[in-house]
Structure 1
């Protein structure tokens, strides 16, 4: 240390010691010297701090010594929790190797994403536009397929959003209906006679002619029994038929009479509640109010099927029709192992199904014209299933005319 500084310190200590032990009779000058040495006495913190005394840099630099706040800012050093986060380092290699995930603390800390191997492995994700091009108004409704990760996936160009989305069975059936062009009634006999051994078919018909009893127990009249048995005789062959009917008596009587005409030994049809006449009704109260105010169930039902009115009373036509086929009729038929499934329902079910299967090409607009604009008995819909998985929709008739 500089000799002058040492001398100054020794003198100060001597004066301090002498001043503190002076009992009486202090001179004015000595009293002044003791009073001025207070600054030395207050700097005890420097003397007691060996590190500061031995450090010429700190002693000589008042600015550094005074900046205690820098020394005290040990909270930065203490933030070792980042270093201690070794669980990130120990995470599986496939996550560590993904720079994008490592750099994003929020993603790394999210174990759901870290543990999701499919997301990590999807280094590059292509949208449907990469495979099919843009979805526009020109190709809306179009379905295209491609193979992604060894899986065939189908997408449809949504006409509402003009975006590609995964195609549903509703979309596929809409496609098949559009390609089928079912704009007139086809004789059911013709379809049965021309059915290839590699094809299968589902047929849904309105029951045969009934009497005046509209209830669930109301039977066919005499002409109704004859109609259904004659139809059975016309389609008699070696093809095995499966039969299903609603919970109504006349639906079962129609199935049994057709089976009898075909010569089938087992004429007992399965019962499917989905074939009851209320299948398309979403809200019974709203439906009753609509038909009471607008001319009855036939008018209201046909207007909804074509125009979409009374949506508070009815389901959406395409999705509800698809549901009937996919979740009820087709599974029941396929479980039978037969080649043809024949189902019998009612006009309030069959009119919407005909409108649906024909793409609204068949005119059953009873709400506009009640003359010859309602579905006849034993009229309905058929779907032929091709070996390649495609479908062809038909509107069929079991009598001479499809309308009444």
Structure 2
């Protein structure tokens, strides 16, 4: 820019002597020449075209703050407050139609805000309605492996829960591959007075359905206090989101492609699926708008044994969802 200013000054110096030598009126000549000098300087420098700050820097494209930081995805404001419904962008986002849970909950009844006894939901079924409940297993011992069994308290919990469910129900039992989930099914059935207590094994009731990056997830667990803290911070605070799938579409796939079809194939009116906390909590957190406190990171609360969610399938194809419990409380506090 200094070089351009120098060129402008030289241009003025060269033109000035020529103007003085003209025979025209000095005042008129001075005004005309001054304008020409100014015009010449502006055209020769052409600050706007030669510099073109906007095009050469292009701050927006090179930084792309939204994509690199991904604030929206990590904070997940839209999912937690259900802005999708209020903005009426259901078709473009495809959350309501694919999940068919959020919409039915909001239309058929208010937001899920608390756990209710599964027995109460069973008693409220209308003619033609069916229900599948996905529950956490009963209390286990200190063995966290897939072969870890229920402890004595867990066996009694399942038996007592089964006694509460006695009735004229055509029930389909299914469980994850873990020993404790099959034991839970077995003892619930015994409590109900059923002789056939063999549950089907469904792989999708176990595993890490919501984890996208296992390596990163395990690293977060090791560095930040275990799976309960990492999962609750993801669901309630938006932290560690890069280790997980986007919540709403993943819940949609879990329910529409796995839970409901498996239950429908059974031909039964009632389904009891026994699974694990890390597969159930994300669903409950979504349909309750995080109004049910299972944020172990801050409150030390977590999903209780024999608690989960239940989907009521109506004859017209609509669905209604509940947070359900088999014990006195749907959450437990663990220090």
Q: Could you say whether these structures have the same fold, taking a TM-score greater than 0.5 normalized by the shorter chain as the test? A: yes
Q: Deviations over 1:166-197 (max 9, x none)?
A: 77633532212334411011011111122223
SS class of match (2:173): strand
Structure 2: tracts of 5 or more residues without a match:
1-81
* In structure 1, C-alpha distance between the alignment counterparts of 2:228 and 2:305, rounded to whole Å: 15
Q: What is the aligned partner in structure 2 of residue 376 from structure 1?
A: 304
1:276 paired to 2:203: no
Contact map agreement 2:137 2:274 (CA 8 A) in 1: yes
Q: Which residue of 2 aligns with 1:186?
A: 116
Give the equivalent residue in structure 2 for 1:351.
281
Contact preservation (8 Å) 1:177, 1:358: no
Residue-pair matches, total:
249
Note the residue ranges of structure 1 that are not aligned, 5 or more in a row. Answer: 1-138, 144-155
Match of 1:170 among 98, 101, 104: 98
| Counterpart contact for 1:157–1:164, Cα < 8 Å | no
1:23-78 CA deviation, whole Å, 9 max, x = no partner?
xxxxxxxxxxxxxxxxxxxxxxxxxxxxxxxxxxxxxxxxxxxxxxxxxxxxxxxx
Residue 331 (structure 2) aligns with: 403
- Greater RCO, CA 8 A, separation 6+: 2
- Provide the rounded CA distance (Å) in 2 between the counterparts of 1:348 and 1:140: 25
Q: SS where residue 312 of structure 1 aligns?
A: helix
Q: Which residue of 1 aligns with 2:195?
A: 265
Give the match for residue 394 of structure 1.
322
Q: Measured at CA, do residues 277 and 178 of structure 1 come closer, stay the same or move farther in structure 2, by a change above 3 Å?
A: farther
- Give distance in 2, aligned partners of 1:189 and 1:207: 17
CA deviation after TM superposition for structure 1 residue 277, in Å: 4.2
Higher helix share: 2
Assess, with a 3 A threshold, how the Cα gap between structure 1 residues 211 and 316 changes in structure 2: closer, same or farther.
Answer: same
Q: 1:303–1:177: structure 2 CA closer, same or farther, 3 Å change rule?
A: farther
Matched, 1:158 2:89: yes
The separation in 2 between residues aligned to 1:166 and 1:281, in whole angstroms, is 21
Q: TM-score, normalised by structure 1?
A: 0.58
Measured on the aligned residues, the alpha-carbon RMSD in Å equals 2.1
The alpha carbon displacement at 1:307 in A equals 2.7
CA distance in 1 between counterparts of 2:93 and 2:174 reads 35
1:299 partnered with 2:229? yes
CA contact (8 A) 1:379 1:396 kept: yes
Paired residue for 1:337?
A: 267
| 1:136-193 CA distance string (max 9 Å, x none) | xxx97459xxxxxxxxxxxx9327xxx8577763353221233441101101111112
Instruction: Provide TM-score, normalisation by structure 2.
Output: 0.70
In structure 2, relative to structure 1, the CA distance for the partners of 1:169 and 1:264 (3 Å cut) is: farther
Q: Do structure 1's residue 310 and structure 2's residue 234 form an aligned pair?
A: no
* Cα distance per residue 1:300-355 (max 9 Å; x no partner): 00111223321221111111112111111111111111001110111111221211
Deviations 1:245-293 (A, max 9, x none): 1110001110111111112222111111111141211111100111111
- Corresponding residue for 2:250? 320
CA distance in 2 between counterparts of 1:229 and 1:174 reads 33
The alpha carbon displacement at 1:398 in A equals 0.3
Rounded to whole Å, the distance in 2 between the matches of 1:315 and 1:164 is: 19
Q: Structure 1 294/382 Cα, relative in aligned 2: closer, same or farther at 3 Å?
A: same
- Paired position in structure 2 for 1:195: 125
